[in-house]
């Protein structure tokens, strides 16, 4: 099974600890890839709607390769710290795109 983990934290804290615990239990029989939005060049969504009519985003950044990795996954794990009862901005950026 191909598992993609989206790490919504820019810090090496509890979110990374939880991710590492998951990887320890799941890595034996699965292919795991971690996406770290804070290390990618992804612009915020412009709301242009082009992605709804064609394949992919018009932005020339890391959006399309990232979306392709997510779309190819059998399982997606969203890992995020909770700020003000919501997800981190890094994770929301990926979801919005």
Mean pLDDT by 10 residues, the chain (97 residues): 96 95 92 96 93 89 96 97 92 92
Question: What is the radius of gyration, based on Cα positions, of the chain?
Answer: 14
Nearest to 93 by CA among 19, 36, 43: 43
- Residue written as token pair 């790490």: 7
Position 88 scores a pLDDT of: 94
Position 83 scores a pLDDT of: 86
Position 54 scores a pLDDT of: 85
- The C-alpha angle 21, 83, 14, rounded to 5 degrees, equals 20
Domains and CATH numbers, the chain: 2-96 (3.40.50.360)
- pTM confidence score: 0.89
3 touches 34 (CB < 8 A):
no
Position 75 scores a pLDDT of: 98
């Amino acid at each position: 099974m191909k598992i993609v983990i989206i790490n919504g934290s820019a810090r090496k804290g509890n979110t990374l600890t939880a991710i590492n615990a998951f990887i320890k239990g799941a890595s034996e029989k699965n292919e795991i890839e971690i996406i770290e939005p804070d290390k990618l060049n992804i612009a915020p969504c412009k709301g242009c709607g082009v992605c709804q009519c064609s394949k992919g985003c018009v932005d020339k950044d890391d959006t399309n390769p990232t979306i392709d990795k997510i779309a190819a996954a059998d399982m997606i794990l969203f890992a995020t710290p909770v700020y003000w009862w919501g997800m981190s901005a890094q994770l929301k950026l990926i979801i919005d795109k």
